[in-house]
Amino acid sequence: MMVAWMAGLLAVLAVSAGLTWGARAYALRRNLLDEPGERRSHGVATPRGGGIAIVLTLLLACVVAAVIWPKAGITLAVFALGLVLVAGIGWWDDHRPLPAVRRLLVHVVASALLAGLVWHATGNAWQALLALLFATSLINIWNFMDGINGIATTQAILAGIAFAMVLPPPYGLTGVVLGLTCLGFLPFNYPQARIFMGDVGSGALGYAIAALVCLVSVRTDIHWLLLLVPLSAFLVDAGFTLLSRILSGQRWMEPHTQHLYQRAVKGGASHTFVTGMYLVFGIFSAAVFNACTNLQPRWEAAVAVAWLIFATGLWLLLRKGMRN
């Protein structure tokens, strides 16, 4: 049985890598390229849309899981529908740019499906509403933060591992599968980018991670604030950059290069170095999270608040240094 499980997980990795190779060939054939520009962090034209490989692998995994665990079929189908909606609007946007409001409406609909699953599992309307807001936000946060080689994928792998470690079996497999789908894509994107994830992948990846967080919130007693810790690198950078743009009167929905990771690259740091630094911070975040999941709820919340304050202070310090 163990050999069969290992073979299945290796198949996830292989399928993701194979589909990424196919996505690159498709992008080159269709001339689907991201060109360098003032609001981008790369210097050469690069194929985009490789994230479709992650999406298709996750959907295939949902089909296999539904066969193995028929009782979970409806839940998996609802999740898959939401994933298809987010990935579909992203795929469209990769081929023919769409208004931000139209994309956001689709994100809200997909997040509402996820919120419905949470409501059905818990009967808690407030928790479902929180899931709706969180999923909608994370879809866009992962899109905002997918701007340099490997950063979005490596953070997703860390999140998958961190949450897999606290979920009871067989639910922990969800985090492992998510991590493996990203790992199959990673060699094509890091350290040198032969293809970018594109909106089809970044938004869908944010949705998948939000679903994983919702699963942990339903299947464990971990305080919801502590669930934010493994994602703190992206939450802090995206959240406070957005807030600063709003407060300064900028058109915050337009593309820009003001995130901390983008400022670092513009300042001369390599993609490899910056992604590596975010990876190190992510490892510490995951370690703090996993070390504190058996505390009493009030202490879990206290640790989470303290860590987020620390992350915010570090962000402010680094951002000030780069501005100066």
Instruction: Report whether 199 belongs to an annotated binding site.
Output: yes
CB 48 within 8 A of CB 22: no
Specify binding-site residues for Mg(2+): 143, 199
